[in-house]
Amino acid sequence: MKNIMLAHGGGGVEMNSLINDIIFEIFDNDILKRADDSAVLGEFKNLAFSTDSFVVDPIKFNGGDIGKIAACGTINDLAMVGASAKYLSCAVIIEEGLDIQTLKDVLNSLANICRDSDVKVVCGDTKVVPRGKCDKIFINTSGVGEILVPNIGVNSLKSGARVLLSSDIGRHGGVILASRNEFELQSELQSDCKSLKGVVNALISAGIKPLCMRDATRGGLSAVLNEWAVASGLEILVHENKINVCDEVQGICELLGFEPYELANEGTFVVAVDECDAQKTLEILKSFDENASEIGEILDSKNSRVIIQNAYKSRRFLEPPKGELLPRIC
Amino acid sequence: MKNIMLAHGGGGVEMNSLINDIIFEIFDNDILKRADDSAVLGEFKNLAFSTDSFVVDPIKFNGGDIGKIAACGTINDLAMVGASAKYLSCAVIIEEGLDIQTLKDVLNSLANICRDSDVKVVCGDTKVVPRGKCDKIFINTSGVGEILVPNIGVNSLKSGARVLLSSDIGRHGGVILASRNEFELQSELQSDCKSLKGVVNALISAGIKPLCMRDATRGGLSAVLNEWAVASGLEILVHENKINVCDEVQGICELLGFEPYELANEGTFVVAVDECDAQKTLEILKSFDENASEIGEILDSKNSRVIIQNAYKSRRFLEPPKGELLPRIC
């Protein structure tokens, strides 16, 4: 393979191979290779650091826009390592001719999420490229946050842990799919795009020590569970009937041949906790979103794979996503 | 004005108005409004934070490539507030079809600068957009560094301070101009693109406390001096014959009607120091680059403007850059 394909950005097998075989090799260091959602920097006391670029198309969608997603994405990546986001950078690449009101709208969305999440945008950068050299606007946010609980990450996954999901799945991916296919459904469904700082802080304040958390963005729930299975070397079992999928997302998946497990989310996360913390975790997740559920557990088996069981106890592998899932989902 | 123009990204008057009137208003906070090259975060001990996106065209140029510039740009922004860069993020937006060898080459350039500067790339992001939706590759780097000396910034500028320049000017801008105009000169001239971490650390280790530093990127020396004059409310006098410009840059400027003062640099900075530190500062700058020079001083006059004096003592205003300087210079 000599050239970059869309699949290299899709969150599936091809992206993992690009990251593992090329990028990690070039920037060879232990912090990066831990491959958590944020880097944990020992040198600066309790500091976590994360980055994400956003190229979502369309830039405005039901339930959000590129500014909202840019703020939530990095705040959430910090939350996933148990860090409370404090400061964000905001770097924009703007296509010549973009109307200034659109720029203001998306930056206001970004600023509103930051205000609500008690996060300050403290540095930025503005580039403008000629017409046709980018598409309207791309936004990078990087963030620093304070780690509230140490050692949350794939290294802490272990057999016996319970796996919970903070919401129903597939709404962000469903909205983007619908907007590109001009469905009737479009007006009903809202992206799940939101900041997870509040719910994660609530879990930690309640004394829960999550083992590992991951927001189910590109590649969806399936990508997260498969990454966890590979990283831990353990087998994960989840129950189909415990994973909530709303009717609109189910409908879009049936029409277009997608699996809801592979659709992106932008405010929904997976969390593994010790069995003794599972009930309390579920209560707190449900107080933020009634569609939260306990979906499965990590088995005492070194098979490094994900099994999904349906209501009739029939089991199949939940394969990692592959191919061109959906370009420019975030 | 309703739409974004190329000039909004040029580093001149239009970019300043976009940043001051729109972006600073939306993300209203004191740290951001300080408008130094990096944010200084009191909450985390001695922490500086900075971001830059890079869209340079062509992605490979004499003396560097987009990977080298992406590493140097953020390392240098941290150095300019007296911070020693420690960790970088690297987020790439890649156009579908880019050949993977090119990706490896630019990321290796980025990694080489980081290795030489003792900086680790600890987090990243990879997006791929369809053909025609960006141009080859855009890179964002954000960085965190340890502040070695506090209070370096425009707030510390004062009358009587000496102004020094770390090198000759305009080489990066000249290289990009030449590459777009297919000059013979192209093969001679090298971009000044380099990390400034070493020279700034050397100044600080020698006991010098710079008042303010700024690397002369978009908008060049003229943009830096005019920003300093506006921010401090003081008048700055510089001497034309002290500002070194190599023959190739001079030639390109004469052919294309540019001023070397407005051409971008990617490894050249302006530093203001107390008079008592000027001689030692110059010696250290010269030990890194023989073209370093003391170029002027900050006058005891609240005129908030920049004066340039030629060898015949004739004086004129050095106006801030304006208009489409050169799109995608960095």
Indicate whether A282 and A189 sit together in one domain.
yes
pLDDT on residue B41: 86
- Residues A46-62 have pLDDT tens digits of 899 999 999 999 999 99
Residue B180 domain flag: yes
Write the DSSP string, A263-287: S--SS-EEEEE-HHHHHHHHHHHHH
Residue A93 C-beta-side C-alpha neighbours within 13 Å: 32
Higher pLDDT residue, B293 or B10? Answer: B293
Indicate whether B217 and B279 sit together in one domain.
yes
* pLDDT confidence bin for B1, thresholds 50/70/90: confident
Indicate whether A215 and A307 sit together in one domain.
yes
- Residues B66-87 have pLDDT tens digits of 999 999 999 999 999 999 999 9
Average pLDDT value for chain A: 94
Cβ <8 Å between A9 and B53 = no
Residue A46 domain flag: yes
Helices of type H across B206-274: 220-232, 247-256
Residue A8 to residues A302, B92, B140, Cα–Cα distance (Å): 28, 12, 18
Percent of chain B with pLDDT over 70: 98
Indicate whether B64 and B82 sit together in one domain.
yes
Contacts of A9 in chain B (CB under 8 A): 94, 126-129
Indicate whether B135 and B204 sit together in one domain.
no
Mutate one of A59, A140, A176 to test the B interface: name it (highest B CB count within 10 A). Answer: A140
User: Of A132, A147, A162, which closes a domain?
Assistant: A147
Q: Which domain holds residue B256?
A: 154-317
Tally the residues of chain B. 330
Query: Taking Cα atoms as reference points, which of B123, B127, B125 lies closest to residue B143?
Result: B123
pLDDT on residue B183: 61
Residue B328 domain flag: no
Q: What is the CATH number of the domain that holds A99?
A: 3.30.1330.10
Question: What's the rounded Cα separation, in Å, for the pair A11 and A37?
Answer: 13
pLDDT on residue B316: 97
> Buried (b) or exposed (e) across B97-119, using 16+ Cβ within 10 A?
ebebebbbbbbbbbbebbeebeb
Shortest Cα distance, chain B CAs vs residue A98, angstroms: 5
CB of A48 closer than 8 Å to CB of A40: yes
User: Of B83, B112, B147, which closes a domain?
Assistant: B147
- Residues A150-166 have pLDDT tens digits of 999 999 999 999 999 99
Residue A81 domain flag: yes
Indicate whether B201 and B220 sit together in one domain.
yes
Indicate whether A187 and A299 sit together in one domain.
yes
Cβ <8 Å between A127 and B6 = no
Question: What's the rounded Cα separation, in Å, for the pair B158 and B298?
Answer: 7
Residue A320 DSSP class: P
Residue B290 C-beta-side C-alpha neighbours within 13 Å: 1
Q: What is the CATH number of the domain that holds B286?
A: 3.90.650.10
Indicate whether B174 and B226 sit together in one domain.
yes
Instruction: Quote the strand ranges of chain B, DSSP E.
Output: 39-41, 47-54, 60-61, 64-65, 83-95, 120-129, 137-147, 162-165, 212-215, 236-239, 269-273, 293-298, 306-309, 315-317
Peptide bond into A58 cis (omega under 30): yes
Residue A329 domain flag: no
Higher pLDDT residue, B257 or A90? Answer: A90
User: Of B124, B147, B170, which closes a domain?
Assistant: B147
Q: Nearest residue of B to residue A140 by CA position?
A: B140
Q: Which residues pair with B238 in a beta bridge?
A: B296, B308
CA angle at residue B135 from A135 to A100, to 5 degrees? 30
Cβ <8 Å between B103 and A138 = no
Indicate whether A295 and A166 sit together in one domain.
yes
Contacts of A44 in chain B (CB under 8 A): 44-45, 47, 86, 144, 146
Indicate whether A169 and A302 sit together in one domain.
yes
Indicate whether B77 and B158 sit together in one domain.
no
Query: Taking Cα atoms as reference points, which of A170, A249, A218 lies closest to residue A326?
Result: A218
Cβ <8 Å between A41 and B87 = yes
Residue A268 domain flag: yes
Q: Find all residues with CB under 8 Å of A316, minimum gap 6, and list them.
A: A307, A308
- Residues B217-265 have pLDDT tens digits of 999 999 999 999 999 999 999 999 999 999 999 999 998 889 999 999 9
Work out how many domains chain B is built from and give that number.
2
Q: Is the dihedral of CA B47, B50, B18, A134 positive or negative?
A: negative
Percent of chain A with pLDDT over 70: 98
Question: What's the rounded Cα separation, in Å, for the pair B71 and B81?
Answer: 17
3-state helix, strand, coil in chain A (%, to 5): 35, 25, 40
Residue A69 domain flag: yes
Indicate whether A90 and A122 sit together in one domain.
yes
Predicted ipTM of the assembly: 0.95
pLDDT on residue B182: 65
Residue A326 domain flag: no
Q: Which two tokens stand for residue A315?
A: 């089991």
